[in-house]
């Protein structure tokens, strides 16, 4: 995504973000392990950051593969960053894999403190008049409500097989959506696309979660996390 780069972020964006007095998690992406390490090392020296997130959905120019589609590449980049990063380390996983649990386990074993999932799904939209892709790059990342069931399923799978916290994301636009992720095992949720049209959506979700707890006579949101009942209907 377009941005100022790390130097621009540190000098232009970070000073303002610090004034908001909320936990700040900075997501970084690189094309080589060395780039990831450089970014993480720099951010570790900055005050006021709650965590660093590695977006491993990026191509590895040295290997010709996306980091997050291969357990060994994931383990390599996470371990390298873990060695220099003094902040809590989150790893954002791509759903464009056949076995996301193996990727998640590799990140956990390499020292990740939490897992963020899912990133966007690769999609293709075609202009039927020109018979060309609608996006300049051809394919692009699909986000929003369409990917939520896939995201919830992947969160459920990863949460069952990993010990570190899972942060669920992918199509969350309401308290009901957030609850699906929490019930599936996410310890926290993140909202992306919905913020574009409704900047106050996070506050709305919080109110909705509090209402749900009251209606179900629950004392804390932790009572919801991982509470999915998978017993087959009728049994």
Domain with residue 30: its CATH number is 3.20.20.70
Summarize pLDDT for 216-234 with one digit per residue, the tens. Answer: 999 999 999 999 998 865 5
Q: How many CB atoms lie within 10 A of CB 116?
A: 24
pLDDT-derived band of residue 64, with 50, 70 and 90 as boundaries?
Answer: low
Note if 85 is an active site residue: no
Q: Is residue 234 part of a domain?
A: no
Summarize pLDDT for 4-56 with one digit per residue, the tens. Answer: 888 898 999 999 999 998 999 999 999 899 999 999 999 999 988 999 999 99
Q: What is the pLDDT of residue 63?
A: 54
Structural domains of the chain, count: 1
| DSSP state at residue 232 | P
Res 59 pLDDT > 80: no
Angle, helices 175-184/201-215, rounded to nearest 10 degrees: 70
Q: Is residue 230 part of a domain?
A: no
Angle, helices 71-82/33-44, rounded to nearest 10 degrees: 30
Q: Of 26, 29, 58, 175, which one is the catalytic site residue?
A: 58
* Cα 41-188-139 angle, rounded to 5 deg: 70
Q: Is residue 141 part of a domain?
A: yes
Task: Report yes or no: 52 and 89 within 8 Å, Cβ to Cβ.
Answer: yes
pLDDT-derived band of residue 235, with 50, 70 and 90 as boundaries?
Answer: very low
**Least confident segment among 2-6, 100-104, 128-132, 161-165:** 2-6
Task: Report yes or no: 176 and 209 within 8 Å, Cβ to Cβ.
Answer: no
What is the pLDDT averaged over residues 183-194? 96
**b/e for 20-41, b at 16 or more Cβ within 10 A?**
eeeeebbebbbebbebbbbbbe
Structural domain boundaries enclosing 165? 5-223
**With the C-alpha atoms ordered 130, 132, 133, 135, is the resulting torsion angle positive or negative?**
negative
State both tokens at 16. 């303002």
Summarize pLDDT for 95-117 with one digit per residue, the tens. Answer: 999 999 999 999 999 999 999 99
pTM attached to this predicted model: 0.92
């Amino acid at each position: 995504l377009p941005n100022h780069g790390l130097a621009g972020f540190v000098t232009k964006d970070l000073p303002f973000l610090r004034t908001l007095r909320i936990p700040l998690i900075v997501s970084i992406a690189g094309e080589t392990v060395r780039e990831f390490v450089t970014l993480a090392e720099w951010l570790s020296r900055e005050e006021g950051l709650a965590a660093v997130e590695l977006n491993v959905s990026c191509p590895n120019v040295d290997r010709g593969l996306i980091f997050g589609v291969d357990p060994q590449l994931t383990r390599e980049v996470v371990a390298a960053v873990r060695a220099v990063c003094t902040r809590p380390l989150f790893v954002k996983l791509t759903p464009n894999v056949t076995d996301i649990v193996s990727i998640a386990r590799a990140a956990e074993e390499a020292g990740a403190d939490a897992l963020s999932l899912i990133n966007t799904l690769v999609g293709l939209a075609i202009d039927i008049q020109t018979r060309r892709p609608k996006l300049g790059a051809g394919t692009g990342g699909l986000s929003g409500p369409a990917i939520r069931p896939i995201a919830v399923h992947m969160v459920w799978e990863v949460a069952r097989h990993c010990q570190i916290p899972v942060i669920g994301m992918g199509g969350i636009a309401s308290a009901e959506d957030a609850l699906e992720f929490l019930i599936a095992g996410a310890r926290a949720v993140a909202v992306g696309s919905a913020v574009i049209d409704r900047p106050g959506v996070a506050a709305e979700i919080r109110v909705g979660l509090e209402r749900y707890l009251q209606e179900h006579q629950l004392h804390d949101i932790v009572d919801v996390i991982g509470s999915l009942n998978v017993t087959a209907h009728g049994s």
